[in-house]
Amino acid sequence: MQKMTLLCLFILTNWSLLTAQVGINTTSPSDAAVLDINSSADGTNYGGLLIPRVDLTQRAAIAAGAADDGLMIYLIDGGTRCVQIWDGVNSVWDDVYCMPIIVADPWINEFHYDNNGADTNEAVEIAGEAGFDLSGWSVVLYNGSGGIVYGTISLSGTIPDQGSGYGTLAFTSTLQNGPDGFALVNPSGTVIQFLSYEGSFTATDGAASGMTSVDVGVAESDSTAATESLQLRGTGSQYSDFTWSSPASSTFGSINTSQTIN
């Protein structure tokens, strides 16, 4: 009897070694699979396969060798999100698929259009993620009287890293006194922003045709100093995180004094 009991225990504890297939949520695993996972056990609740997720430091701690050829992980590090497989022959991690890196659109961060005496130092500043190429982008200038285009600033250059992976580029141009505005337009002609000062209006031509501008809510005048500008302040990583402030010392080409982009 004791021998029979031991035999039964041996068979039960080693059953997985005596069968070629293992099934999860299934009682009839495929003959061609060592492991067959069904997405549901009851036909109502479903799930997927979650492979190990690691960052670069954790991946480096994996002691993978030639015998581990085909080892799979999901790398999450910064903006990188990739399914990777270990190439045991060449001792490298190869990308199977990488999620697209989402890059936020840049935004209008500062501008100056009116001051005491002859208008000088007029410019528009663009802020965004460091490394963003502004080639093909433009700022289309709109006259609030009639909503027509009166000029275009062609943007260029790569946004520098001025801290925490963000930066600014400034572009000089002659801006009309308000009520007027401008549209930030991407290379495909899509309007990213349509802002105005000293009032709102509807564009009648150009990229923003039919759109109504958003008044920034603050303005300059003929008593504003030529060294001042309207600029965003606050903390965040996108346009909606900030608010426009009354004229303050301009910081064209730099992150604004009362602004933290992170």
Nearest to 213 by CA among 186, 241, 178: 178
Three-state SS for 134? coil
Average pLDDT score over residue span 123-137? 97
Say yes or no to pLDDT of 111 above 60: yes
Domain positions in the chain? 49-102, 107-261
pLDDT tens for each residue of 148-193 = 999 999 999 999 999 999 999 999 999 999 899 999 999 999 999 9
Helices (DSSP H) in the chain: which residue ranges?
2-13, 15-18, 56-60
Tell me the pLDDT band of 135, cut-offs 50, 70 and 90.
very high
Antiparallel, parallel or unpaired: β 228-236 and 259-261: parallel
> In this predicted structure, what is the pLDDT of residue 239?
97
Tell whether omega for the bond before 29 is within 30 degrees of 0, i.e. cis.
Answer: no
Which of helix, strand or coil describes residue 61? coil
Q: Please give the Cα distance from 15 to 57 (Å, whole number).
A: 38
Q: 167: how many CB neighbours lie within 10 A of its CB?
A: 23
Tell me the sheet residues that pair with 171: 124
Strands 72-77 and 53-54, sheet pairing: parallel
Residue 9, token pair as written in the block: 């225990």
Look at residue 57 in the predicted model and tell me its pLDDT: 96
**pLDDT tens string 16-45:** 444 567 888 888 888 888 888 889 989 899
**Tokens found for residue 20:** 């070629």
The mean of the pLDDT values for the chain is 92
Beta strands in 20-98 (DSSP E): 22-24, 35-37, 53-54, 72-77, 80-87, 92-98
| pLDDT (0 to 100) of residue 54 | 97
Q: Say if residue 211's pLDDT is above 70.
A: yes
**What pLDDT does 224 receive?**
97
Determine the pLDDT at residue 3.
58
* pLDDT exceeds cutoff 80 at 92: yes
